[in-house]
Amino acid sequence: MRILLQFPEGLKQKALEYAKGLESEGNDVFISASPTFGACDLALDEMRNISADKLIHFGHAEFHHVNANVEYVPYFVDAPLTLLPDSLGHLRDFKTISVLTTIQHIHQLDKVRKFYEENGKKVVIGKPYGFAKHSGQILGCDIGSAASVDNDVDAHVYFGGGMFHPLGALLNTKKPFLVVEPFANKIERIDSFRETYRKRSNGKKMRALNSKNFGILVSTKNGQHNMNLARIIKQKVEQQGLSAKILVANTFDFMSLNNMMEFDAFVNTACPRISIDDTERTRAPLLSANELMEVLAMKRELKAANVKPEF
């Protein structure tokens, strides 16, 4: 069998080991050298181009069904639970909490839940919106396990590494948010980031008020492709007498985008985290679809009042 292996950046050091193992079983094995940003980013083009019989995607659970022979191999990590007792002091005032994690630690979620319950907390485990596959699991683009129970809890607790995953959940919830990072040996309340990103979003919208030419980003990645939304956005922009063009790429290079000097603003329809995490990498405002709708509404109000924005 001809097999293509695909690894996220953190697991690429294991590529040769897995390839050798599969070759010893008589398979013809190739390794994708392209970057991958998750299960939304399968190496389907490479798979077709080398006529592979199967793509094995490591590190993530299935994101959505694709019409190809894809095997997902999640990568589980046993994180130390030694920080959990220290987190209780941060949760003193909260009786009901939700517990969140990533696919790497989903197998430990029940132990984390039991720890908090044994220490007097009521634990609620939320369900994802559909891209994530497990209750309590969050992705950069699926924070349903947090948002679905935000009204039912006093606080959220994320157990895992890094800020990428909890940040998305934080920005879509209103309750206190605690991050327990077992490998960094750190416990942190991150509530203040909500105000930071609210101000950043307002700044982008103000900068975009004078925009006349909008570039709408459409990704060809299998789990990020959203041409229908892009066409709707294009129509909304043009209805106000403005210009919009759809810009297509597999992975957006921000230096290349910045060379498109005729565009006054960009609108993201690909991974939703692009318009959150990468806003400082573009010379022009990089808006989400919702932010664009707010900009267009403000433009209409200013035009009706015969007021020219000065930003």
Confidence at residue 246, expressed as pLDDT on a 0 to 100 scale: 98
Question: Looking at residues 193-199, what average pLDDT do you find?
Answer: 96
Question: Do 44 and 109 share a structural domain?
Answer: no
Question: Do 153 and 113 share a structural domain?
Answer: yes
Reading the block at residue 177, the tokens are: 């948010």
Residue-wise pLDDT for 276-291, tens only, equals 999 999 999 999 999 9
Residue-wise pLDDT for 138-167, tens only, equals 999 999 999 999 999 999 999 999 999 999
Q: Domain end: 50, 73, 96, which one?
A: 73
79 in any annotated domain: no
> Residue 134 above 80 pLDDT?
yes
Q: Structural domain tally of the chain?
A: 3
275 in any annotated domain: yes
Least confident segment among 32-41, 60-69, 104-113, 299-308? 299-308
Question: Do 231 and 186 share a structural domain?
Answer: no
Q: Sign of dihedral through CA atoms 137, 290, 231, 248?
A: negative
Question: Looking at residues 89-115, what average pLDDT do you find?
Answer: 97
Question: Do 96 and 148 share a structural domain?
Answer: yes
How does residue 310 score in pLDDT terms, banded at 50, 70 and 90?
A: low
How does residue 83 score in pLDDT terms, banded at 50, 70 and 90?
A: very high
Question: Do 222 and 129 share a structural domain?
Answer: no
* Pairwise CA distance, residues 192 & 199, whole Å: 11
Confidence at residue 70, expressed as pLDDT on a 0 to 100 scale: 96
Q: Domain end: 20, 46, 73, which one?
A: 73
Question: Do 205 and 149 share a structural domain?
Answer: no
| Residue 230, domain CATH | 3.40.50.11860
Question: Looking at residues 228-241, what average pLDDT do you find?
Answer: 97
Range(s) of the domain holding residue 279? 200-304
Question: Do 270 and 245 share a structural domain?
Answer: yes
> Residue 19 above 70 pLDDT?
yes
Q: Domain end: 52, 73, 94, which one?
A: 73
> Residue 3 above 80 pLDDT?
yes
